[in-house]
Amino acid sequence: MEIRQLRVGGLLLPSNVLMAPLAGYTCYPFRLLARQMGAGLCFTEMVSANALKYKDRATRQLLFTTEEEPVKAVQLLGGSPAVMEQMAQSPFLEPFDLIDINMGCPVPNVFKSGEGSALMLDMPRASAVIRACKKSGKPVSVKCRAGIREDEMFAAEFARMCECSGADMITIHGRSRSMMYDGTPYYEEIAHAKAAVSIPVIANGGIFSARDAHLMMERTGADGVMIARYALENPFIFSELTKTPCRKTVLDILLEQLELTRTYYDETFTLTYIRKLASYNMKKRKGTKKYKQQLYQCGSLEELRGLLLTVFSHKQTEE
C-alpha cells in the first residue's frame, strides 16, 4: 500500500495508517506507542457524551492526554444532537484536535439506546449529530459499519450523508452490524463509499497482517487503513507498514508501557491494562501458555514486571 500523509480538515497527518479506538486499550500510553511506531492518528477509547455530561469520573479518565501527544483525537458516542453539541464544545474536549463520532458500535446495549450503529438506521438524526459536533469548529470524522445486516448494506449512501453534513473523514468497518467482529469484510461496500465521496475514506475490519492491509487498500481504493485488535497483538504492524525504524523488542514495549502507565494512572488501572496487553502479546509466542494464569494473579506492579522479564526476555518453548 502507498504510505502518504493524510489531510483531514485542517489537520495534516503523517501517515494514512490509523489506530482504531478500542475500549480498555487505547489509553494515553498505548496511543503514544502507536504514534511512535508510525500510526498517523490514534483515538481515545469510546467516550459517552451522556456520561461526560454528568461528569462521570471514569469517563473523564478516558480523556487523559498531555502535550506529548501531537494530534489528539477523541471518539464520542451519543445519539442526541443537543448533548453531542454541548459536549463537543465543552472544556472536557478542549485539548482535542479532532472529534470522531461513533456510528458503528454493534453491541446490544448501545444499539438499543439509539447510539452507535443504530444511527445508521436514522440518517436525519445522524446528520444532525454530525452538524452539531461541527459547531465545535474542529474537524469531525465518523466511524460506521458497511450496513446493519448482510442483506442491508448502504455504505455509499451513508458516506454521502456524512459528507453533506460536514464530516471531514469517514472510516468504514467493512462488516455489517449483525456480523459483529467476525467474517470477511465486504470490500466492495468500502469501494462504493470511496467512489461516492470526496472526503478521505478509511478502511477498517479484518486486518490481521501487513498483507491484509495491502489487500484492503487494493480491493477498496481507500485513502488509508485503520488497524484494530491486531495492533494489540503486534504493535510493530505500524512500523512494518510505514517503514518507521524500530529496534524495540516486545519486552521493551511492555516495560515502557508499564512505566508510562504507572506515571499517569493508579496501580489498579496499570495492573489491569498491562495484564491485558501482555496477554495479547503472548498469543502466538511459544511456551507462554503456562504463564497466562500467573499473569492475572500478579498482585503488584513489581511482581508483574518480574513476570514480564521471565516471559519475554528469552525464547520460550512449548512444554
How far apart are the C-alpha atoms of 132 and 125, rounded to whole Å? Answer: 10
DSSP assignments along 189-258, one per residue: HHHHHHHH-SS-EEEESS--SHHHHHHHHHHH--SEEEE-THHHH-TTHHHHHHT------HHHHHHHHH
Kindly list the distances between the CA atom of residue 233 and the CA atoms of 1, 25, 229, 278, 300, in Å, as whole numbers in the listed order: 21, 12, 7, 9, 23
Task: Check if the beta carbon of residue 51 is closer than 8 Å to that of residue 78.
Answer: no
Active site residue 105: yes
Cα–Cα distance measured from residue 148 to residue 49, given in angstroms and rounded to the nearest whole number: 23
The grid coordinates listed for 200 are 478521505
Give the 3-state secondary structure of residue 283: coil
Select which of 27, 42, 105, 298 is catalytic.
Answer: 105
Measured CA to CA, the distance from residue 98 to residue 11 in angstroms comes to 9
Q: Which residues pair with 75 in a beta bridge?
A: 46, 100
- The crossing angle, in degrees rounded to 10, of helices 187-196 and 155-164 is 30
Query: How would you label 35-50 residue by residue, b for 16+ Cβ within 10 Å and e otherwise?
Result: bbbbbbbbbbbbbbbb
* Separation CA 204–CA 21 (nearest Å): 11
Give catalytic residue positions.
Answer: 105
